[in-house]
Amino acid sequence: MDFCAGIWWWRLGLEQAWFKCVAFSEIDKKAEQTYRVFFGNEEKNYWDLMNIIPSELPDFDVLIAGFPCQTFSVLWQRKWMEDPRWQIIFWIEKILKEKRIKYFILENVKWLVNHDWWKTIKSILDLLWKAWYYVDWKVLNTLDYWLPQSRERAYFLWVRKDLYPFNEELQFPEKIAKGDIKNYLINDSKKYLFSDSRTLTMLRYLNNKYNAWKFSLEDIIKKEWCIIDTRQSDIRFFDGICPTLRKWRHWLIYSKDWKLRELSWLETLLLQWIPYETAKKADGVISDNDLLWQAWNAMSVNVIREIGKKFMNFISNNTKKND
């Protein structure tokens, strides 16, 4: 079962690793709408995690959650305990205890592991260790698993202690070669092609006090298949890869066929490993802006799939003991 589900990145990855979804919890109505477009109405949404009564949940073996990262993100103030979103971890603990879940997987930003001089992660590990769970964790980069996006996240694999000793230890996936960015920058819609007004905006940006005389528009157009991050204080070039997709990167652009284009909602979904056929279901149904925001605030499906395959092998090889 998936908690803090978003538009269900966990499901896409774990179904490719032979897991089956039974239900989910997502408080954002727009995210739930996108999920329904992608997957239909079969599974029940239990909405706000902090209002769930564990006894009313269906039986399930694996809990998964990408709990809110704003508390720990480098882009926020990292208020930790003062932020109410942090309290979600205690509700996850409550569900784990009452439902006696065998396994669970958590995901968060990489800054979680060294936030507040390691005090935050120590608090999480201690809390869930006392809830009777063994853990292994690692920071993985999406870039190391075929998808050409640099996106580092911390992943935690938990197993109920009474299932120990295991027939084999928990393992994280080995690295895979990077894919070709050209396979993801595929949107030819004129909507994302630079208009005259956008070109003028770009020229003003290139001539602001931070960027003046460093690059010309002609220089940028020549950089085909290079994603360009237009920050206020500087301009950054990423050859063959995409920088981390996030909400506060409002203007990622690239040059193709000697023309400048903005990164579209479709390309953003593809750069999170959403299958093309799935992504296209949202075309004209969900707004471009909502899809962009949902993709920016998501996990990379390819990493979830690879973790899921390793975790399923672990569960399968320990089934006799677990039963």
Positions marked active-site: 69
Joined together, the tokens standing for residue 278 give 């799935």
d(CA 75, CA 295): 18
CA 147 to chain centre: 13
Provide the angle, in degrees to the nearest 10, between the axes of the packed helices 119-130 and 88-99.
20
Neighbour order of strands in the sheet with 226-230: 235-239, 226-230, 252-256, 259-262
**Are 261 and 253 within 8 A, CB to CB?**
yes
d(CA 273, CA 180): 13
d(CA 300, CA 308): 13
Three-class SS state of 224:
strand
